[in-house]
Structure 1
Amino acid sequence: MLAQKYGTPKLGEMLLPRENFRPYPTIEDRPEWDGLPLHLRTYWMNKGIAKLNHAWNPLPATAYMDYSRTGNRERYDKASWERRRTLASLVIAECMENEGRFLDDIVNGIWCICEETFWGIPGHGYMMKRQDSLPDMEDPVIELFSAETAALLAWTHYLMKSKLDSVSKMVCERIRQEVKRRILDPYLTRFDLWWMGFNQERMLNNWNPWCNSNCLAAFLLLEDDPERREAAAMKAMRSLDHYLERLRSDGGCEEGPKYWLYAGGMLFDGLELLYSVSARQIHVYDEPLIQQIGRYIYRAFIDDAYYVNFADSTAKVQIPAELAYRYGRRIGDDKLAGLGAMVLRKKREETTDLEFPAMSRLLPALFHYSEAERYVGETPYVRDAWLDGIQVMVARERQGTSKGLFVAAKGGHNDESHNHNDIGHFIVYCNGSPMIIDPGMLTYTSQSFFEERYSIWAMQSAYHNVPIVNGIQQRNGSSYRAADVDCKFDDRSAALSLDIGGAYPDLAEIRSWLRTISLIRGSSPCIEIKDEFLLQHRTDEITLHLLSPHLPRSEGDGSFVVEDECRNRISIQFNSAMFAGSVETIPLEDAIMQEVWGERLYRIHLKIRTPLDRGECMIRISEV
């Protein structure tokens, strides 16, 4: 898509030289900075003022060693990321005001970051050849946050070079030296970094566009040598092609909507850099796959900040509103652009934090803010969507509104990127409010990846809305997958049917387990979960699970009612002659889960009463 089309002998001629590459206004471009909306200027000035005379937090060796000693990622990661957020806030405040009062703090921040041994985080130290509890400064691996740091320093250099030079010529020189040593040189010379995709020993995921887009920004903003800039652009296109080749034609993000911000979103960031530095000659926005990647995020949209959060994603996702707006405008999709504009206006009305996660997102957000705020576009509330590649169905009662019932369900396999063992899993919302849920992710630790991942409860099928049979949960691995998958839509219903028996090991003794998840529209709308199963032997060790953030209340045999604080209510009906219902409380101690769900979740157990080797059962969910 990229390298073959644009990797011609004329690529070097397409790229603007560094001195002519002006993607955003620098601090000297006063009309653009002074013309930003007053509330944005006030907000960012206040953020900068709060960081004046900042005491740059230490990053001791023992904090880095926490990861190898205890598995804790937070102490070092948070301190590292706070340095970078502080620097970005100071830089933007100085660009807003242009009076020099933030300069010393900016220089301190640059110097502080440049003196760090490693710009990455301990959890990514596995990439180094010599494994140790501390990083090897002679092995400049490029991972997510070292690439992010290089881009931040490159944008700082681009925006403020003249002002930094007025303090000392050594500041920008140090930026160029450190970024060259840590990122630019290894980016050109190394082909063994797994995320590049040149050696397919690992599955590509969000790392590819995330690292490539930031490395590309550093090259385009700092590198003077036209041959090296051309080589970097060519390598980025080749590497991005490897990522695009592994995506399905539906553009679905199997890592979940939170990771779309760093997968599809970062892909867009990289494509925008290529589009801009080539004076719009490198243009792939008419490619169907690029368009589908953007559309995924509104197909996963439920209401407010809620998204279909399969895999390692929280149910609430703060998407970069302006990025969604610009992506939509680039591909000519008014629903995607409309989602971005809607989210931006909601943030503005609620006066929530307008901070964006990185300088590569913040600058376009600032300079396209007014344009996006005025845009209306189309409603992003799609009635139905079937992402056949990642096997995810979403359906709501009516197009254009969150009112009524919403269901999402998935097939796929249990070796997806950021996988949870959840084949046949589904979620239910009512009037945009979560009723039957996916619990989401926990704060990452050393257990979150590699061989210990499935010892964590939130990754296990027992804490998703799927059966446990003979005490056996689903197993992780690509061979554990859905079969006979079929999705159908019409005005009356939406239905996903699939055999989930293959997601379980032989010990479960399942011959087949056909599950059908349906949304029935019309005068009496409801959601039906129908299971037809065939086992090798009779057993009474069959339990169906349903997770909810609200305490289910029993209303007689065969019925639970779930109600939220806004009095949205659903009724869950089941065959009480076949199943005994009970409710378990799951206390939540993790900060990420507490932020979304509060102090606890509830798990409905529907346990079969008598031994069976075959059967059919139905759960019916309706609004009451």
Structure 2
Amino acid sequence: MPTSASQEVLVQQSPSSRPGRPGGSAPNSLAGFNETSFLARVLPAPGQWRSVPDVSDRGFWGAVDTPTRQAILQRAEDFRTREWPVLTARGWRDFVETGNRTMYEDRYFGRRRRTVASALAACLTDDPSWHDDVLDGVWLMLEETTWCVPAHDYSAREDGPRLPDPDRPFLDLFAAETGALLAWTLHVLGSRLDERSPLARARIVEEVRRRILVPQRTDDTWSWFGRSGPVNNWNPWINSNVLTCSLLLDQDRDDIVTTVSRVLEGLDTFVSGYPDDGGCDEGQMYWWRAGASLSECLEQLYDATGGALDGYALPKVREIARYPHRVHIADDWYVNVGDGPARTEAADTVEPHVLHRFGRRTGDEEVVAHARYMRGDGAATLPRLSLGRSLFALADRDWAKAPASASPAPLPLQAWWPQTQLLTARETEGQVDGLFVSVKGGHNGESHNHNDVGTVLVAVDGHPALVDAGVAQYTRQHFGPRRYEIWTMRSDYHNVPNVDGHEQQPGKEFRAREVTADLGAERVDVRLDLAGAYPKEAGLVRFSRQVTFSRGEPAHVSWHDEWELDHDPESMTLHLITSAEPVLGGGGIRVLTPGRALRITYDASGFRTPSVERIDLDDRRLSGVWGPALWRIALSPLRPGRRGEWSLDLRAEPVG
């Protein structure tokens, strides 16, 4: 029987010392592990993967530290004061008919959050009332016609049926996650469910087999699988949950081998398509369902095979682990690109233990330190949507022990992702105080794309001042042909120019050109040509942007744009999105932050009086990050000309 994650000491072995490798050598890709004879030899028999202690291990559950125990039980009690959410046909059809996702999804995820919290409370207390609550949640999910959400299911197509078809199970993110939730629940609480009714066990096994495992093993058309084109976070997210379902519930060894083989095929597509620099073009929040879910797959495979299947040794995997702490600004603020929000507060997807384990497996102390920082001095885990993530956190002895105090964030001086074309740099390594700058190149066909090639973000003392809005609550429009009618997606609402009335266009062909970065101890310099991100009608020959961050006294950012068109334009406008209402005057703009202000100066004689637009945020996702409003500044030269330039100077200054 393989050793479990809860028992193992995470020490990196050299590639030559790891057991059971195909051909006796270290594969350079996940596909190198995908040999049937190797998998049949190293994978556990059905029912033999015992990765975390079940409810009967009262010594383990009784030893969970007091802060973690109290936090979990309080969350579970809060859920128990409410009625179980009801899923209705009207809620499902609301998405089909209006594009609104929240009427159904709020209730759908409410069921799962409560079941996770109740399952953890049941393990901690072994109280029959919690076992009954878990059974209620399990039974409600088993009775659902589909585990998919309307936005992902074929049944939500306008030309299809108006309600989900139980004979056409669709394997999306949340169907897979539901299957894993049920599998983990049975793993840790199966004996208590059996006491209430053995039928619960039988139905969990059968429904997960029918809705998750058989579709994964038999259907090659899933877009997330990778045989029909590029993949994104769906691939590792679904695969991590499918692995759980197979390792815990499959009753035939050949089925486990087939499932793992197909998981490896899909993951190899995902990793092969990932840039060598480890950058996540979906943004830091989606990293928790891209890079983090990849690490969950690798951990289950490593643990289930006793270390024989070790994907952590791949160099690209190590770079993927380094992304979150290198885009960290301060507190819960991060550089955001695409649909990723700028802060992680109360996010369901964020489980710091996943990052901590990832850092230990890859031997990166900064990754480990950032995970410790994210945890602070509080609970080892909180009930979120993933029961498996919480169970692994509690079963990891190194992580589960209560910290004496909060750990500092590593706060690296700077980072550059050459393939992703993203820069982050701060004034002083290890310190929040001072300026923080990010510059993005890339293209406009990225996953969860915004038209944002060339955008610049600036924070002062850890507080974002020049910002990217992020994304509102998802609707059908966000993933349809009218996506770029949404203001948060448009380049006119990013810190880039409008060229003679033309915005950037979506598509991989609309990209930055001639991108270079020079990183030094005293100065960072990024240059890129934005012309390729605009349509031919804009008439751009070039639009050169140079952003130079100087760490002298005082530290400042020099921002210089220079353009050439094939005609005399009627207008050129630079838009700047700010987190606070800007104060105009004296040839400059001041953006107040909770500490100091960001001062933006320019040659006012060459510009019209800037216009300022307040953008009221009536969406809960946007307002949850930024508060009630953002602001958009428009800077337009008096005489733009066929050739022209402008320069900005940005630095921090006292508020008074």
Q: Same fold (TM over 0.5)?
A: yes
Matched, 1:406 2:436: yes
Matched, 1:305 2:332: yes
Matched, 1:568 2:599: no
Task: State the SS of the aligned residue for 1:124.
Answer: coil
Q: Which amino acid in the other structure matches residue 491 of structure 2? A: S
State how far apart, in whole Å, the 2-side matches of 1:484 and 1:240 are: 32
Q: 2:572 aligns with which of 514, 530, 542?
A: 542
Contact 1:269 1:360 in 2 (8 A): no
Q: Which amino acid in the other structure matches residue 463 of structure 1? A: Y
Contact 1:529 1:620 in 2 (8 A): yes
Which residue of 2 is the match for residue 286 of structure 1?
313
Which residue of 2 is the match for residue 430 of structure 1?
460
Which residue of 1 is the match for residue 237 of structure 2?
210
Q: 1:244 aligns with which of 251, 260, 271?
A: 271
Q: Which amino acid in the other structure matches residue 164 of structure 2? A: P
Which residue of 1 is the match for residue 25 of structure 2?
none
Contact 1:424 1:498 in 2 (8 A): yes
Which consecutive residues of structure 1, in runs of 5 or more, have no partner in the other structure? none
Q: Which amino acid in the other structure matches residue 343 of structure 1? A: M
State how far apart, in whole Å, the 1-side matches of 2:565 and 2:559 are: 19
Which residue of 1 is the match for residue 630 of structure 2?
601
State how far apart, in whole Å, the 2-side matches of 1:527 and 1:204 are: 36
Q: 1:47 aligns with which of 46, 54, 75?
A: 75
Matched, 1:339 2:370: yes
Q: 1:507 aligns with which of 537, 555, 562?
A: 537
Q: 1:463/1:12 Cα in 2 relative to 1: closer, same or farther (>3 Å)?
A: same
Alignment of 1:461-500 (within 5 A): 461-500=491-530
Contact 1:285 1:330 in 2 (8 A): yes
Q: 1:217/1:372 Cα in 2 relative to 1: closer, same or farther (>3 Å)?
A: farther
Give 1:365 shift. Answer: 2.2
Task: State the SS of the aligned residue for 2:129.
Answer: coil
Contact 1:344 1:373 in 2 (8 A): no
Q: Which amino acid in the other structure matches residue 446 of structure 1? A: R
Which residue of 2 is the match for residue 193 of structure 1?
222
Alignment of 1:270-281 (within 5 A): 270-281=297-308
State how far apart, in whole Å, the 1-side matches of 2:457 and 2:493 are: 12
Q: 1:587 aligns with which of 607, 611, 616?
A: 616
Q: 2:207 aligns with which of 178, 185, 206?
A: 178
Q: Which amino acid in the other structure matches residue 386 of structure 1? A: W
Q: Which amino acid in the other structure matches residue 559 of structure 1? A: G
Task: State the SS of the aligned residue for 1:33.
Answer: helix
Q: 1:83 aligns with which of 111, 127, 139?
A: 111
Contact 2:113 2:384 in 1 (8 A): no
Task: State the SS of the aligned residue for 2:549.
Answer: strand
Which residue of 2 is the match for residue 390 of structure 1?
420
Contact 2:381 2:394 in 1 (8 A): no
Task: State the SS of the aligned residue for 1:539.
Answer: coil
Contact 1:510 1:535 in 2 (8 A): yes
Which residue of 2 is the match for residue 615 of structure 1?
644
Give 1:397 shift. Answer: 1.1
Q: 1:74 aligns with which of 102, 109, 130?
A: 102
State how far apart, in whole Å, the 2-side matches of 1:394 and 1:462 are: 23
Give 1:583 shift. Answer: 1.6
Range with greater deviation from structure 2 (151-160 or 392-401): 392-401
Range with greater deviation from structure 2 (125-134 or 180-189): 125-134
Task: State the SS of the aligned residue for 2:472.
Answer: coil
Give 1:524 shift. Answer: 2.1
Contact 1:335 1:378 in 2 (8 A): no
Task: State the SS of the aligned residue for 1:122.
Answer: coil
User: Which structure carries more relative contact order (alpha carbon 8 Å, separation 6+)?
Assistant: 2
Range with greater deviation from structure 2 (421-430 or 39-48): 39-48
Range with greater deviation from structure 2 (149-158 or 576-585): 576-585
Range with greater deviation from structure 2 (604-613 or 450-459): 604-613
User: Aligned residue pairs: how many?
Assistant: 617
State how far apart, in whole Å, the 2-side matches of 1:37 and 1:371 are: 7
Which residue of 2 is the match for residue 122 of structure 1?
150
Which residue of 2 is the match for residue 226 of structure 1?
253
Which consecutive residues of structure 2, in runs of 5 or more, have no partner in the other structure? 1-28
Task: State the SS of the aligned residue for 2:313.
Answer: coil
Q: Kindly provide the CA deviation profile for residues 505-552 of structure 1, in whole angstroms up to 9, marking residues without a partner as x.
A: 012111110001121111221012110100112224101011111111
Give 1:582 shift. Answer: 2.5
Matched, 1:169 2:194: no
Give 1:481 shift. Answer: 0.6
State how far apart, in whole Å, the 2-side matches of 1:542 and 1:482 are: 19
Contact 2:457 2:468 in 1 (8 A): yes
Give 1:356 shift. Answer: 3.4
Q: Which amino acid in the other structure matches residue 364 of structure 2? A: D
State how far apart, in whole Å, the 2-side matches of 1:371 and 1:472 are: 56
Which residue of 1 is the match for residue 18 of structure 2?
none
Which residue of 2 is the match for residue 446 of structure 1?
476
Q: Which amino acid in the other structure matches residue 205 of structure 1? A: N
